[in-house]
Amino acid sequence: MATKRLHLKNQEEALMLFGQNDHYLRELEKRHHVQFFIRPSSLPSQEGLTLAMRGRAPDIDKAIAALETRRQSPNSPPPPSKDAFEISGSDPLKKDMIIRSINGTAICPRTVTQKDYIRAMRDHDMVIGIGPAGTGKTFLAVAFAVAELQSGRFNKIVLTRPVVEAGERLGFLPGDLYEKVHPYLRPLYDAFFTIVGPDRTRLLREDEILEIVPLAYMRGRTLDDALIILDEAQNTTPEQMKMFLTRMGNNSKVIINGDLTQIDLENKRRSGLLKIETILKGVEGIRFVRFTGEDIVRHTLVQKVLQAYEAYERQDPPPEP
């Protein structure tokens, strides 16, 4: 596998070459089976951006030729996408497309709250999404992070979640540390696999552009130029939440997600997510977004199951048999 680089003078040239929402770039990736990575220029004496391309050398050469042709004819239209008409249609939610997945599917908000969540991530440096499972909190945050990475806004993505032992102690589980914690981090990998595919996820990790780590590994770090996502935040303690929030460095953005109905801590009142809204209420630059059962976008039965459990939990517990 080869890697080649193309220098871009500035953001304006990048926008002209890549198209709206990087549409032209994504089409080139699918057509020529190459992968693109956008970075600030690595040479101190050189301004602008660097477009790195990875793939087979002949495929990269074809992609470069297409980009050079577009440089010479900037008004040439990008190749049409199979659902371009759908995105430009009358549905206002689809006009807020974040990115296209590895198979070309447009990732868009499907509820009004999801649309509000996306806009909050664009406009604020810290966003806290609270709501039940299945409302798309993690998936949309990962999609937004990938889009921001591709635009050159951030240099890396850090995904983290607390490792809470539920039923089994890590020390007794088989395997090394990676094998012990990997199941806890699997939902984050799944989101990345859907959006960019397993191969590109692996390459991003190898290049240390993507980190997926347990929350305990965040202590002592300062993360600059990074988009940082804390998932399953309801399972943090107040001390862990404070530690995480103070990892934020210059030119960084933090997204926190959690579900207060799924706290796995022994003392549920010790949830860092439970206390965060009281502590950070009114702090400028922070936005809270609350999801409800109406925002669940999984199978329709998921919403009915949650409603049934909520109704049951509002009743007095039945006597022990």
Q: What is the mean pLDDT of residues 231-256?
A: 94
Give pLDDT tens digits for 49-71.
888 888 888 888 888 888 888 88
Query: Which strand (E) or helix (H) includes residue 257?
Result: strand 253-258
- Decide which of 189 and 185 is more confident: 189
* Mean pLDDT value across the chain: 80
Amino acid letter, residue 184 = Y
Question: Of the ranges 174-178, 206-210, 268-272, 304-308, which one carries the lowest mean pLDDT score?
Answer: 174-178
pLDDT at 157: 94
Question: Of the ranges 89-103, 196-210, 221-235, which one carries the lowest mean pLDDT score?
Answer: 89-103
**CATH pick for 2-72 out of 3.30.70.270, 3.40.50.1360, 3.30.1370.10, 1.10.490.10:** 3.30.1370.10
**Coil, strand or helix: which one is 185?**
helix
State both tokens at 53.
């391309």
pLDDT at 86: 34
Same fold, 2-72 and 84-314: no
pLDDT band at residue 175 using 50, 70 and 90 as cut-offs: low
Question: Of the ranges 23-27, 54-58, 221-225, which one carries the lowest mean pLDDT score?
Answer: 23-27
> Where does residue 152 fall: left (phi above 0), alpha (psi -120 to 50 degrees), or beta otherwise?
left
Residue 160's DSSP bridge partners are: 213, 230
DSSP 8-state assignment for residue 270: G
- List the Cα angle 114/193/158 in 5-degree steps: 70
pLDDT at 316: 58
pLDDT at 131: 93
pLDDT at 163: 78
CATH class, 84-314 region:
alpha beta
Contact call for residues 102 and 196 (beta carbons, < 8 A)? yes
- Which residue, 214, 253, 220, 209, is CA-closest to 232? 214
pLDDT of residue 196 exceeding 70 = yes
The domain limits of the chain are: 2-72, 84-314
pLDDT of residue 301 exceeding 50 = yes
pLDDT of residue 81 exceeding 50 = no
State if pTM tops 0.75.
Answer: no
Q: With the C-alpha atoms ordered 22, 23, 28, 34, is the resulting torsion angle positive or negative?
A: positive
